[in-house]
Every structure is written in structure tokens, then in C-alpha cells.
Chains A and B, each alone.
Chain A
């Protein structure tokens, strides 16, 4: 099976043709021809390695009214993603080999994107007893990331054991950094907007202190008998960093050589708590939308590399979970189909990232953190033909109802965003093209 991609600009550079055979790039040049190849006319658009998302909620099993692995895979492919990491806060929780293997298998059956299940750190996400990390890692699901996301591993001793134990498995522990003793009943970023709206505050210190603690724990765990931890591999990954104060902690830890990586969501790059006026829970998310100073700090930290990657925290919720009073609404927002556009808007347009930078934060570095050998690879001969083709000059208006997810809870409703995914290619197979999934 051959694919000829004509007139594509890798990383926005000079236009080339790429010939793909059996999922691998076999030739790059100009004026390439192939008799028996499917042709994808790239129209001079930007070719990036397929996007990798370390943080999605696909809701299956148990939450199929909001999303399924199939609908989430559609959203991923349309958003330019070729690999996603599905968080374990499902029902049942993905804390055993049985559940993670189910998720992996459903992803393979749908076949649009590599679905990598994230295993729970603790049984039932209860934060008390380590789940069988080794069994999940060795299972057919090949779990490489563990997280209790949605909940923080609050107990420092449990987190210490998790980091130590994980270091021998060459897997990463992803922490939802939120000291719950500081966020009891929290509904919004603790600040002027929450004070005015009468919403209990989620203080930035609850994030900052857990990150500081975990970095110290990771430093000590790495000093132990961690023979299997590869050079450069992250052992602690911080989910959805939201506060500017967390940046200083991460910068210092990285300077000390702590094996920590961090992600920021598109919404924490763009949206602020000013949107909470009116109490529409489409803006409710955990951690909460913070201030303009925070979004600015996130952008700069991402450009600088203190924050490694963009991850969507794609969190579909059926309308019954959002069409409520603020306090009753579930936190989370859709992200897969808007992520690249938001990154173009917040990072590329202001000149904070070039296309190599986008490839780094949305593909290469996420693949490294998630231990994926065949994702986030260079666009070169001999490498997998796994791509995202983007038209950076296109503009589109977000409509939740038109997104592929089962739920429609996008905070970008009606917003005009730059950049459209023209095609997504997974190992030589086109999975999405011109806004439609190629089944």
C-alpha cells in the first residue's frame, strides 16, 4: 500500500513530495511519482508529525452518554492526533489489566488513532493502595503512564512509593496536582472574580505545593535503585499546570535535574476566569480558568520549555451534567478538535513558537514522555508516515454540535479560530481529510 503526499511543507519549510510505502516514508523529493499510490495533494500546507495528546477522557467504559472510544477517536483524528492517552477515571476504573486491555483493544478496533490507556496509580483512584502497575505495564495494553487524574495522589507516602516503584518499570507517573485540603468545595480560581461571584476559591497554592513536594519526591526516587530509568525519561509528569506560581517551581526543579515534565491545556493558554460571569458551567474545569497573568505565564513557559507539552484534558460531559447550576456541574471541556487552533492562536501567531516548536510540544515531546517509539518522529526517510497536515491560514467558527464528540461542551462556541487540520495520516493511512473521518 502506497501513499504519495504531494506539495507538503514539513514544519512550514520548503515544499516537497513524500512517498510512503507500508506506513513508512521511503522517499522525499520533488516531482515524485508512483503508479500504484493513493495521492494526497497537500496544497502547500504545513506538514507536522501526527499530534500526540497525553491527556484525554474518552469516558468508556461507563460514561458512554458523554463519549465513547469511537467518538473520541473521531474527534482525535479530526483534530490532527495520531495517539491519545486515555485517563483511567472510567467506571470501572482502569486500575487492572482487564480494563486497560479493553480500552486498548477498542482503540485498535476503531483504528483511527493509537489509544493508549493510562493506568490508575491507586486502586479505585482512592489514593491509598498502589494499583498493579507492573501487571498493567506488562499487559497487552503496554501501559506506560499512570495517573489518578481527576484526583490528586494526596498522601505523600503513597506518591513516594508510586514514584519509586514506577522508576523500575520505565513508566511515568502523571500527577493531578491539587492539595484537596486546600480546595475543599472549590468552584473557581481564588481571586477577584470568585470573590465577586461568591464561588469558593481554588487557590493556586494547592497546585504549587503539590508540584514542589512531588519534585522533591521524584528527585529522591531517582537517586534510588532506578536502573531501568532511561536517560532523559520523565518519571514525574505534572498534568494541566495552571498557575504562574507553579512555573517557578518547575523551572527550579528542572534546573536541579529532576526528571519532571509538565503539560498545559489549550484552555489554560487562552481562557481566563473573566468568563465565569454569568455562571455558564461550560467554563467550569479543574484546575479552574485563572487570570490573564497566568495564561501569559503559561505561554511563555511553553515557549521556554519549562512546560514541555500541550495536552488537551479533553473532558466530554453530556448536557445533563452541564445544564445545571454551577456547583452541580461537572468540571471539564472538549479539547481535541480545537487544540491545534488554540495553539496556533496563542503561540504561533504571537511568534512564541514556530512549526518546529509546535511539533515539539504537541508531538515529539509528548511521545517521549509517553514512551511511544513510533510517534513524534522526524519527517524523514525511514520514519513512520504519521502526520498532521494543517492549513494555517484557514479560519473556522467553533460549533459544539458540529464536533465529533458525543457531548458538545466546548468553551469556544461561536469563537473564530485560525488553522484547520486538512488531513491526518497514521502509519500511511489517511484517518481524516477535509474535516471528515476516513473510516
Chain B
């Protein structure tokens, strides 16, 4: 694995390999007083974030530190980006300083693909390879989020193949949804997208999933449900009439939790908008796996860095 830009770059074996590595790393660290592995000592990981993010950036930073990599955080606001430097120049400058891996988040879809292309071109002349990890590009993908979701579902359900998993909410603008549809279907799950037509992209018909507009109709047959955040700007963008109507039709409240099979996991990539897509009682219920997702996030990112930088077998 050279870069991790899209779930589409993975086959089932590679995805399962990453999840297995994450699981092993989790077991290895369990109960340890000093949570530090020497695996990536001497390696440098730079997080390059052009968008505000706390959980993803911190998660990658901790993942790197627990593997003894040197991690450096660059945020677009505090760098020369604000002076108008191009993404190309910024990314090549960082790799020229010796970064082994650039973890990047950017508001433009495909930004990580572009950076990987420039890095590969540069590597052809310098011979120094820099891996790129897509930590969220616009409304395209967020592969490590999908991996941590899959890890959480494996923990809860035992397996993913053959399970029916609902993804509810703003699919149109969600990189989490795109990566999850690809990964869960790759791992053999049946995916159902549940959203109003205005929050589904034209062309969704070609995705490896089914589409529904009725949460109530789908819930009883789901093995797990993943709620997507509804961003404030969508509420004012005319995608649906009101936050109230959205919550009534697509919010996961206590009554709806009762429609799910007993103990079915409820996932949310966070940050949650309580009272909108998820009722507080549901968010705090034993079904909710939000913090388990966050815990798994660190292990999954350790696995990704390990596979990229230590050349673990694919």
C-alpha cells in the first residue's frame, strides 16, 4: 500500500488486513502501563489540515505517537497557506523536509489524490517516497473513518458479511457515507441509505447499496444503524423544510430505537447534533458506540500508518 486515498483503492483482503492489524494492536496495548510501541521510531508523520478538526487530527497524532513516530501538526491557518501558497508547493515543501507520511484533510474533493500525484512525480526524481493518507477530502471520502466504523461493527456484531447496515442522513455531502458504502459492501454487508431525496446525490443508483426514504420501514430489519451529522448550513440550504421536520422523519429517537433489534449498535461519526439526527437518550444508550468508534479510530490509524510506513504485508 503506497497511499490511502480512497476505500476504492482497497480490496477485501487489504481492508481485512488493516482491520486485523488494528485488532492486534488494540490487544497488544490492552492493559499496558506504557502505551508505546517502537514500530515507527525515526519516522515522521505530518498532519496537514486545511479544515478544522479535533478528533481526526488528534486521533492520527496519538496513533503516530503510540507507535513512536514523530508527529507534527500543520494547520492551514497557521502556515504559509494563508500567504497564498499553492497546495502543491506546500505539500512538496513538507515532503522535502523529510516527512514519511502526510495525513491530510482538505475541503476540496480529490485534494489528497492531487497531493499523492505530485508526491509520486517528485519521488520519481528524488527517490524519496512520501505516503499520503486522506483524512477527509471535501465531500468525497474519509477512508479511516470507514475503517474505524467497520472495526466497531466487527466488535459489536462479530462479523460484517451478510449484515444489513443502514446509513441515515445527509449522504449528499458526506465523505463518511461514501467511504462506508464502499467498505461495508466490500466486506459483504448489505447497505441501505436512508435519506430524503434532496440529501442523496444524483447517480446514487450506481452505488453498491439500496436507497430508502423511510427510516421506520427499514429499522426492524437492520443489524446496525449509522447516523450522519446534519450540518447547520444544510438546514438553511433548502434541503429540507425545517430541523423539526427532519428530526421527525429521520431522527433516531427512543421509539425508533425500539424498532431496531435488541442491542443493535448505533454509530455516529461525530460530532453529534443531539435532538436533530439523534435524541440525547439514544446517544447515551448502551446501543450507542460513539466512544468505541473513537477508541477504535486510534488503533485503525495505527494500523494504516504501520502498513504504509513499515511495509506490512498486504
A, B assembled together: yes
Q: Is the CB of A191 within 8 A of B109?
A: no
B263 within 8 A of A: no
Q: Is the CB of A279 within 8 A of B109?
A: yes
Q: Is the CB of B86 within 8 A of A278?
A: no
B88 within 8 A of A: yes
- The residue in chain A whose Cβ has the minimal distance to the Cβ of B138 is A198
Q: Is the CB of B202 within 8 A of A325?
A: no
Q: Is the CB of B175 within 8 A of A327?
A: no
Q: Which of B193-241 contact A (CB under 8 A)?
A: 201-207
Size range of the chain A interface in the assembly? 20 to 34
Q: Which of B109, B113, B206 has the most CB of A within 10 A?
A: B109
Known: A198-B137, A326-B108. A203 touches B86 (CB 8 A): no
Residues of B near A201 (CB, < 8 A) are 201-203
Residues of A near B202 (CB, < 8 A) are 190-191, 194-195, 201, 203
A27 within 8 A of B: no
Size range of the chain B interface in the assembly? 20 to 34
Known: A194-B203, A195-B201, A200-B139. A323 touches B109 (CB 8 A): no
Q: Is the CB of A192 within 8 A of B88?
A: no
Instruction: For the complex formed, measure the closest distance between the CB of B178 and the CB atoms of chain A, giving whole angstroms.
Output: 6
B117 within 8 A of A: yes
Q: Is the CB of B203 within 8 A of A327?
A: no
Known: A195-B206, A201-B202. A279 touches B113 (CB 8 A): yes
Instruction: Give the complex CA separation of A278 and B202 in angstroms.
Output: 20
A272-285 interface code vs B (CB 8 A; 1 in, 0 out): 00000011100000
Residues of A near B105 (CB, < 8 A) are none
Instruction: Give the complex CA separation of A323 and B91 in angstroms.
Output: 13
Q: Is the CB of A327 within 8 A of B204?
A: no
Q: Is the CB of B111 within 8 A of A325?
A: yes
Instruction: Give the complex CA separation of A193 and B175 in angstroms.
Output: 15
Known: A192-B206, A325-B87, A325-B106. A198 touches B139 (CB 8 A): yes
Instruction: Give the complex CA separation of A57 and B265 in angstroms.
Output: 57
Instruction: Give the complex CA separation of A198 and B110 in angstroms.
Output: 8
- The residue in chain A whose Cβ has the minimal distance to the Cβ of B181 is A196
Known: A198-B139, A198-B140, A198-B175. A325 touches B110 (CB 8 A): yes
B190 within 8 A of A: no
Q: Is the CB of A324 within 8 A of B88?
A: yes
Q: Is the CB of A324 within 8 A of B139?
A: no
Known: A190-B203, A194-B203, A195-B201. A327 touches B109 (CB 8 A): yes
CB contact between B109 and one of A192, A197, A278 (< 8 Å): that residue: A197
A: residues with CB less than 8 A from B are: 187, 190-201, 203, 278-280, 320, 323-328
Question: Knowing that A325-B111, A326-B114 are A-B contacts, what are 14 other residue pairs whose CB atoms are under 8 Å apart, sorted by A's residue number?
Answer: A190-B203, A192-B205, A194-B203, A195-B203, A195-B206, A197-B110, A198-B139, A199-B139, A201-B201, A278-B117, A320-B86, A323-B86, A324-B87, A325-B114
The 4 closest A-B pairs by CB, nearest first: A198-B140, A279-B110, A195-B203, A192-B203
Show 19 A/B contacts (Cβ-Cβ < 8 Å), sorted by A.
Answer: A187-B109, A192-B205, A193-B203, A194-B201, A195-B204, A195-B206, A195-B207, A196-B203, A197-B109, A198-B139, A199-B110, A201-B202, A203-B202, A278-B117, A279-B113, A320-B86, A324-B87, A325-B114, A326-B109
B: residues with CB less than 8 A from A are: 86-88, 106-111, 113-114, 117, 137-141, 175, 178, 201-207
